[in-house]
Structure 1
Amino acid sequence: MSCRETASATRWSPRPPSPSRSNIDRARPPALLPALLIGLALAAAAGNLVAGCGQDPTCGPEDAPADGLRATAAAQTVRYGGVTSSPNNDCPPAEGGPTSLTVEATQVDPAVDGRQSVVLCLPRPAEIGPDPIELADTRLVELVDVSARLDDECSLRIDYDQPATGTLTFLGYCDDGGHPAGYAITVAGSVGGRRICDDGTGPTEEAVTVTLDGTFAVEALQF
C-alpha cells in the first residue's frame, strides 16, 4: 500500500460514536442526591452522639428543685439542698451485692455555720423502682440522720429510738441511681426528734416530731 493509500485508510477508519447529551444526563446522578446523602449522614451521626451521651428522656430530675426538701419541727421549717448521691457503700447488705448509695442533703435555709443534714442510705439500689417505698423498709432505705439549726438558735437531731414512717418515691431513677443525669425523690413522712436549746443555764431537751416533705433533685456523683 502506498503512503497516500495508508493516509487515506487512516483518515477514513470508523470511530466509535460519541455519547449523546441525553445519555450523559441519564448517567449523571441527580444534583440533589449528594446533598440528600450528606443530610442523612449528619442525622445519623447526631443520633449516635445523643445515644452515646446516654440522654434518655425518662432519666433525671426534670424540674425538681435543688432545695425542695423540708424538715419541720416545733413550728419551724428548715430547707435542705445540694443533694448528692454517691456509691460510698456505707450500708452494704449482709448478703453482699451492688454498692450501696448514700444520699445527703445539707441545710441551706436558714443558713448555718457547720454541717446540718439529712442522710439516707440505699442498701440495694438495684431493687428501687417507681413505686413508693416505706421509710420503715430498711431493706431498701435507711434514714441515717436528720439534723438542723433552728431559727431560735436551738438545734434539732433525730431520735434513733423512734421509727420513721411515710414514703419515698424515686423519679427519673436509672442505672441503679448512677445515671449521669441524676434523679429526684419525693418524701412524705416523719420521724421522732429531739429539740435541744441552751438559754445560758444549761441545755434542755424536748421530744418533737420531725416532718419531712418535698420533691428535690439529686446529683449522682461518679467515683
Structure 2
Amino acid sequence: MTPEATRTAGTTGTTGTAAKRGRPPAFDRTAVLAAATRLFWERGYQATSVGELTGAMGIKPGSLYAAFGDKAALFREVVEGYGRSPEGGFVGVALAQEASARAAFARILREAARIYPDPTHPAGCLVMNAAVNTAAQDEEVAEFLRGLRAENLRLFEERLTDAERLGELPPGTSPAALARYFGTVLQGMSQRARDGADTTELAATAELALAAWPPERP
C-alpha cells in the first residue's frame, strides 16, 4: 500500500551516481530489481542478507554495491518501483480516480482483498512486510518505512477532510480517526494474507470495514 513511494526517488539519487562510476553493470537492471523486490517482499528488510540478494539477483556483491550503493539504497529503489506497480500503487490510483471518498476507500479495500493474497507474488504489502523486525542499526530504513506509512495516513486524512467539507461525511466525523481506522484495517488485511487468508476472507473484512462508514446527511 504505497502511493507515495515514488517520492523517494530524490533520496535514491546516490544509487544512480554509483551506477555511473566505472564500467556499466553487465546485467539487466530491471530483472535484478525484480528479483530483489520478490526477496524483500517475501522476507522483509532485516531478514534479507546481501548474500541472499546477490544469489537471487544473479550478481556479485561488488556489482550490487557499484550499481545500487548498498542494501539500504537498493531497498529504497525497490520500494520506489513497487509504488509504481499495480500491486503497490493501487491506493494512490483509487484516491485519484474515484469521484467520492467512500467509493475511493471501497475500491482500496476491495482491491487489497484481491491483491494481497494473489499467489503470483508474495502475500501482503511489501512495505508492511519489510517493516517487521527492523534492527536498531537499520533505524534509517525503519524511519523511511514509518514515513511512507505516515504519508499514506496523511493522504487518507486529506481525502476525508475534503469529503467532510463537501458534505459526504456528517458533522462531527473525525477525518483523522477515520483515516487511522482504514490504515489499520489495511495493515491487518496484509498480515492476514501473510498468514494464509484468501480473497474471500479478506473481501468479507473489507465489507465489514466499509459498514463503519459514517452515514450521509439526511
Class of the TM-score when normalised by the shorter of the 2 chains: under 0.3
Q: Report 1 or 2 for greater relative contact order, CA contacts < 8 Å, sequence distance ≥ 6.
A: 2
More helix by share: 2
Q: Tell me the TM-score normalised to structure 1 length.
A: 0.25
The structure that has the greater radius of gyration is 1
